[in-house]
Amino acid sequence: MALTTTPLGRKVAFDMTEQTVLSNVPDVNVRAGPTTLYGLDLDNTTTSSSANWIKLFDDTGDGLAAAVVGNTARPDIIIPVVAVGAVGATPILGRLQAMWPEGLPFTNGLCWLASKAAGNDFAAAPDDDFRVQAVTAEAA
Amino acid sequence: MGGVTIPLADQFASRLHEAKTLTATPLNDIFSEFDATVKVKTVDIDATANTGEDVFVKFYDDVAPTVGTTLAHMVLKGKAGVVTPCVLPGGGVTFPTNVAVSIACVQEKGGKEGTTAPSGVVDVKIFAEGTTV
C-alpha cells in the first residue's frame, strides 16, 4: 500500500494523488486540508471475484478510523466498480472513471477507503489490489 | 414530484431520466425497459433552488428499496445552491444484481440511514445506457 501525490505540471493547476492498495482502513486528509475533487480513476482489474466500492468522506480525518470501525462514519460519495468478468462489467473491465467538471469541494478534507459491500458496510476490505488515482486542485 | 424517462435514440439504447423535485420517496426502477444491463453514465444534480444544505442522491440496485434501510449501491453529493454534474465516462456504473436503478434524495450522507427530504427543490437528470434480454 502506497499513498503518493504528484504535481501534474507547472502549467496545470491540478495534482494527482494515488493509493495503489485501498483498504477498509481510511486514508485521512490526503491533501492535508480542504481541496476540490475533479476526477477519479478506479482500477479493480486485479480483482476477479468481487465488486469493490470506494467511499469518500469530507472529513478532517480526526476520529474517522474509529468511526469506521464503529460503523458510525457516513460517506459523502460511494461508487461501485465491478470485478473483471462480472455481468455488466465495463468495456474496460474493472476500470471506472468519475469526473466532476465543476469540481466537488471537500471543505474539511478528503478521506477515502474501500470495501466489498455497498452503503456504509465497511467490514470487508477488497481481496486484491484496488487502486485509485484522484485529480484534485493544486495544493495552495 | 415526478419523473419522466425520454428515449433518446433506440439504436443507441440510451435514456435520459429527469427526476423533478426528487425527495426521500424513491422513484423505482426508472430504467425498467433495460432488463439485461443498465449503466449510469452521467448524473446532473440541480440544487440551485436548494440553498439550505448539501444533498445526497442515493442509487439503489433494487426495484423497490426502502429508503433508510436498503444499502445504497451508489451515492453522489449535490452541493447546495449549485448544479453538480458528475460524468462516468467509458463504461459507466453498472447495477448488476437486480438490473434496476431506483433513486431518492435526502439530506443525510451516504450509506443506509436518512429519510429527510431536501428543504428545497432538487432536480436530477440521469443518462444511462442499457440492453434488454
Beta-strand ranges (E) seen in A25-88 are 35-43, 52-58, 77-81
Q: Are A17 and A88 in contact (CB under 8 A)?
A: no
Chain B nearest CA to A86, separation (Å) = 8
| Residues belonging to chain B | 133
The terminus-to-terminus CA distance of chain A in angstroms comes to 26
Residue A31 corresponds to which cell in the numbers above?
491533501
Beta-strand ranges (E) seen in A2-116 are 3-7, 14-19, 35-43, 52-58, 77-81, 95-106, 110-115
pTM of the model: 0.91
The residue behind cell 438490473 is: B99
Which pLDDT belongs to residue A84? Answer: 72
Interchain proximity A76–B77, CB inside 8 Å: yes
Given pLDDT bands bounded at 50, 70 and 90, which one contains residue A139? low
> Which carries the bigger pLDDT value, residue A62 or residue A14?
A62
Residue B37: in which H helix or E strand, if any?
Answer: strand B37-46
pLDDT of B126 above 80: yes
Chain B nearest CA to A90, separation (Å) = 4
Q: Across all residues in chain B, what is the average pLDDT?
A: 91
Of A55-64, B11-20, B124-133, the least confident: B11-20
Mean of the pLDDT values across residues B101-108? 97
Phi and psi torsions of A67, nearest 5°: -65, -35
The residue behind cell 447546495 is: B80
Q: Which of A98, A104, A119 is closest, CB to CB, to B72?
A: A119
Residue of B31, B86, B97 to mutate, interface with A, max A Cβ within 10 Å: B86
Of A5-9, A69-73, A122-126, B92-96, the least confident: A5-9
Given pLDDT bands bounded at 50, 70 and 90, which one contains residue A48? low
Which pLDDT belongs to residue A128? Answer: 85
Residue of B46, B77, B102 to mutate, interface with A, max A Cβ within 10 Å: B77
